[in-house]
Structure 1
Amino acid sequence: MAFWPLFLLLLLAFSPSMNANMEGDALYALRRALKDPGNVLQSWDPTLVDPCTWFHVTCDKDNRVTRLDLGNARLSGNLVPELGRLEKLQYLELYRNNLVGSIPKELGGLKSLLSLDLYHNNLTGPIPPSLNRLSSLRFLRLNKNRLTGRIPRELTTLRSLKILDVSDNDLCGTIPTSGAFSKFSEKSFENNPRLEGPELMGSVSYDVGCSN
């Protein structure tokens, strides 16, 4: 009979309500980190178990968060590492706001992500190499921020990537040309004053003089 308490704990751990609680906590952590003058997050009530009832949040039939639509919402503040817990998230749309700070490396945990749109904010710091774990990613738009450092070579392994835009930042070093990056034009990288041309095959000096 001793196994029953353990069985019940495991059952709770994998229940939809437990997942909803975890995802609701992650989203509410984001709300706490943001200033919201337009009250677009007013419905994000932490006392509700299911975040699928919140505006700008879309869920699947299992009540897992699949989409976060907060583009052009006049939000300011920071992204939070808790967002990496949204394992079923496919679309993270936070473009055209006034977000500051760095891109959390924990976003590499969004294993279902198809589109990451953080363009037209005031994000700083490097592009996290951990984004190379987003094996399903098709759209990566980080343009019009203040990102620095080199373009991580780890991102060249993103075979599903169709659209990349890191223009209008302060990136440096040379442009990767291998893997997924072989199909992107110069337009994807323009207006980075410290970013040089495409790297030579086999070059190991792309990051010389390039710092974050």
Structure 2
Amino acid sequence: MAPISLILSFFLFISPALSTNSEGNALHALRSRFKDPTNVLQSWDPTLVNPCTWFHVTCDSNNHVIRLDLGNSNISGTLGPEVGQLQHLQYLELYMNDISGKIPKELGNLKSLVSMDMYQNKLEGEIPKSFANLKSLKFLRLNNNKLTGSIPRELTTLSDLKVFDVSNNGLCGTIPVDGPFRSFPMESFENNKLNGPELQGLVPYDFGC
């Protein structure tokens, strides 16, 4: 019978591979939703245990996926809940593509996320309230899409948020004025159906939403 120390060593050895494999599975599920006419994702091979060897994927020293760079990659399709499994992701770059459909609420699970750039796509539906869970988020750019509904008031709790751009969408209601929204320029909200900043001290009403 093998000593307990050897058994523990075996599990410690394979655990990083198992965790990265789950991230690889999530990325491959994402790939299956995309149309990729220029073969940008051809290196995303699901038979490889470690997705850190794939192009446009960056990992940390523990082989966790921390960055996904697919900006301006001529891809189309939709996003799915599997993206929320990339628990260590810090940078999600999907800007200037042809991605459509709704933004999955599971993106709110990416607690390490610092930057989310999904501008200039065809995303529709509402901004998920679950984004309020992204306490490390500093940059959120969703401009030039087809988003509707109001700006979630829950986002006013994101104290680290430095850049917020939702211009050129179909958003309605009023603009929050609390938390980081005190410092965002009006250009971040232009070309929507917004009624302007809400009044201090009054409960916001989203007339017309």
When the two structures are superposed, what TM-score results if normalisation uses the length of structure 2?
A: 0.93
What are the Cα deviations for residues 47-87 of structure 1, in whole angstroms up to 9, with x where unaligned? 00000000000000000000000000000000111111111
- What letter corresponds to residue 107 of structure 2 in structure 1? L
Following superposition, the deviation at residue 206 of structure 1 comes to 2.3
1:115-166 Cα shifts (integer Å, max 9, x gaps): 0000000000000000010000000000000000000000000000000100
In structure 2, distance between residues paired with 1:176 and 1:209? 16
Q: Following superposition of structure 1 onto structure 2, how do residues 161-172 of structure 1 map, counting pairs within 5 Å?
A: 161-172=161-172
Q: 1:72 and 2:72 equivalent?
A: yes
Q: What do residues 162-191 of structure 1 show as CA deviations (whole Å, max 9, x unaligned)?
A: 001000000000000001111111011001
Quick one: distance in 2 between partners of 1:172 and 1:32? 33
Q: Give the aligned partner of residue 206 of structure 1.
A: 205
Would you say how many aligned residue pairs link Structure 1 and Structure 2? 204
RMSD over aligned CA atoms reads 1.8
**1:203: Cα distance to partner?**
2.5
Answer yes or no: is 1:177 the counterpart of 2:177: yes
Aligned residue number for residue 93 of structure 2 = 93
AA of the residue aligned to 1:29: A
Structural mapping, 1:1-150, within 5 Å? 11=11, 15-150=15-150
| 1:195 counterpart letter in structure 2 | L
Identity %: 65
CA–CA separation in structure 2 for the residues paired with 1:107 and 1:57: 17
Q: For each residue in 1:88-137, what CA deviation from the matched residue of structure 2 results, as whole angstroms up to 9, or x when unmatched?
A: 11100000000000000000000100000000000000000000100000
Q: Unaligned regions of 5+ residues in structure 2, if any?
A: none
Letter in 2 for 1:145: N
CA distance in 2, matches of 1:20, 1:164: 31
Aligned to 1:190: 190
Q: Residue 75 of structure 1 aligns to which amino acid in structure 2?
A: I
Residue type matched to 1:186 in 2? M
- Secondary structure of the equivalent of 1:195? strand
Distance of 2:165 and 2:205 partners within structure 1: 19
